[in-house]
């Protein structure tokens, strides 16, 4: 079946270059943020450095899963390997939650036994530079994630953006400590950072789980699908048993098309070809499966339930 090649959405192999960019940024920012921690002794900056370690682990996982997802369909994976992207985003979300726990433990210890900060100005300057690197990489990856419909790139980019906001909070906290002299403000900021990381990680994990559970395509794409079918319905053609699901960048749509029973096979086939082509023009990377039925045949209306395997009782099958 034909696919939509618009904007190069099928060039999945090229996505690994974004993972390599994220890996390079993570390695660089780990070094910079760790240096900022040793310069200042700030537990807030330490929490920032730990999150960059998570960035690196997530980027490495993204590279592996994007490589797998780019593989073509084979005999054992006839629908392709695109679902591998969900494992990457789920793994990164779990790592974020682990990092949040580590940050919280360290912050609580420092809250109980506060320590003075040193060389605050230099440490803040290094942290700002590291944050700008993450911001630049995130701004490159987010448009690519949207263009290629990649949940892996989106998870990585949003994590980097969360890291930027985290760094901004930490820098603000360290600055306030230097101004006010209130040492416990530093670990308090780190705890706020940990809470923000938990929120980010939970969102990423939730989205990954929804994808692995074969969730329907996005609402805006469902609306586009309805707009495609409406003109045909006005001609007397009917549709039912509509099912959709998404697998990372791939979309799958199936439905039954009911036409007058006196139509020829050729007429029905030409109609299905037009409908499928129209759908591929509005939904990216979609595989469309249609089934032709007769409007006058009563059995055409027997399989409208969501679970088609339960549409007929055993005795019906026996008959």
- DSSP three-state, residue 280: helix
Do 207 and 120 touch, CB atoms closer than 8 A? Answer: no
The sign of the CA dihedral 281, 282, 287, 290 is negative
Quote the pLDDT of residue 3: 39
> Tens of pLDDT along 5-54?
444 444 666 888 998 999 999 999 999 988 888 888 877 777 778 778 87
Nearby residues of 24 by Cβ (< 8 Å), 6 or more positions away:
none
Q: SS3 sequence, 195-220?
A: HHHHHHHHHHHHHHHHHHCCCCCCHH
Task: Give the pair of three-digit tokens for residue 281.
Answer: 């023009």
Tell me 15's DSSP state: G
Side-chain-side CA neighbours of 217 within 13 Å: the count stands at 24
Query: What pLDDT does 126 receive?
Result: 86
Backbone φ and ψ for 294, nearest 5 degrees, come out as: -90, 135
Q: Which CATH superfamily does the domain covering 6-212 fall into?
A: Cation efflux protein transmembrane domain (1.20.1510.10)
Taking the C-alpha atoms of residue 47 and residue 110, their distance in angstroms, rounded to an integer, is 12
Q: How buried is 203 (Cβ within 10 angstroms: 0-12 exposed, 13-18 middle, 19+ buried)?
A: middle
From residue 2, how far is each of 8, 215, 242 by CA, in Å?
A: 14, 23, 20
Structure tokens, 198? 């938990």
Is 52 in contact with 103 (CB distance < 8 Å)?
no
Phi, psi dihedrals of residue 289, rounded to the nearest 5°: -120, 120
**Are 241 and 304 in contact, with CB atoms under 8 Å apart?**
yes
163, 165, 166, 169 alpha-carbon torsion, rounded to 10° = 160
Calpha distance 96→52 (Å, rounded) = 10
pLDDT of residue 315: 47
Could you tell me the residue ranges of all domains in the chain?
Answer: 6-212, 219-307
Conformational region of residue 116, where left means phi above 0, alpha means psi within -120 to 50, and beta covers everything else? beta
36 in Cβ contact with 130 (< 8 Å):
yes
- CATH class, range 219-307: alpha beta
Q: What is the pLDDT along the chain (319 residues), one digit of tens a residue?
A: 333 444 444 466 688 899 899 999 999 999 998 888 888 887 777 777 877 887 888 888 888 888 888 888 788 887 778 778 888 778 877 877 877 787 787 778 777 877 777 777 788 888 889 889 999 999 999 998 888 878 888 888 887 887 787 777 777 777 887 788 787 877 787 788 778 778 877 887 887 787 777 788 889 999 999 999 999 999 989 998 899 988 777 889 999 999 998 999 999 999 999 999 999 999 988 999 999 999 988 887 776 665 555 555 544 444 4
Alpha carbon distance 234, 216 (integer Å): 26
Give the DSSP letter of residue 305.
S
> How far is the C-alpha of 231 from the C-alpha of 240, rounded, in Å?
15
Strand, helix or coil for residue 112: helix
Nearest by Cα to 116 from 190, 50, 174: 174
Q: What mean pLDDT is reported for the chain?
A: 81
In order of 101, 135, 187, 291, the CA distances from 157 in angstroms are 22, 9, 27, 40
């Amino acid at each position: 079946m034909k696919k939509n090649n618009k904007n190069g959405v099928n060039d999945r192999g090229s996505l690994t270059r974004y993972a390599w960019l994220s890996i390079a940024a993570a390695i660089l920012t780990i070094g910079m943020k760790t240096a900022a921690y040793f310069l200042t002794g700030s537990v807030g900056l330490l929490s920032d450095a730990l999150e960059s370690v998570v960035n690196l682990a997530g980027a490495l996982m993204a590279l592996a899963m994007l490589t797998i997802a780019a593989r073509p369909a084979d005999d054992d994976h006839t629908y392709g390997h695109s679902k591998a992207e969900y494992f990457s985003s789920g793994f990164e979300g779990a790592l974020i939650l682990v990092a949040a726990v580590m940050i919280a433990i360290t912050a609580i210890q420092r809250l109980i036994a506060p320590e003075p900060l040193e060389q605050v100005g230099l440490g803040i300057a290094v942290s700002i530079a590291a944050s700008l690197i993450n911001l630049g990489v995130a701004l490159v990856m987010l448009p690519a994630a949207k263009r290629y419909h990649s949940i892996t790139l989106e998870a990585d980019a949003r994590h980097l953006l969360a890291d930027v906001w985290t760094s901004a909070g930490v820098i603000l906290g360290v600055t306030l400590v230097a101004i006010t002299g209130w040492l416990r403000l530093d670990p308090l900021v780190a705890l706020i950072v940990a809470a923000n990381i938990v929120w980010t990680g939970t969102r990423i994990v939730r989205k990954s789980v929804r994808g692995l559970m074969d969730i329907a395509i996005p609402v805006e794409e469902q609306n586009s699908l309805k707009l495609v079918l409406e003109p045909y319905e006005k001609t007397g053609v009917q549709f039912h048993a509509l099912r959709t699901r998404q697998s990372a960048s791939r979309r799958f749509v199936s439905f039954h098309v009911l036409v007058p029973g006196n139509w020829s096979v050729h007429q029905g086939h030409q109609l299905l070809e037009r409908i499928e082509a129209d759908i591929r023009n509005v939904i990216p990377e979609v595989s469309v499966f249609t089934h032709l039925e007769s409007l006058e045949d009563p059995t055409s209306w027997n399989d409208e339930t969501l679970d088609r395997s339960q549409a007929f009782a055993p005795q019906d099958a026996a008959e």
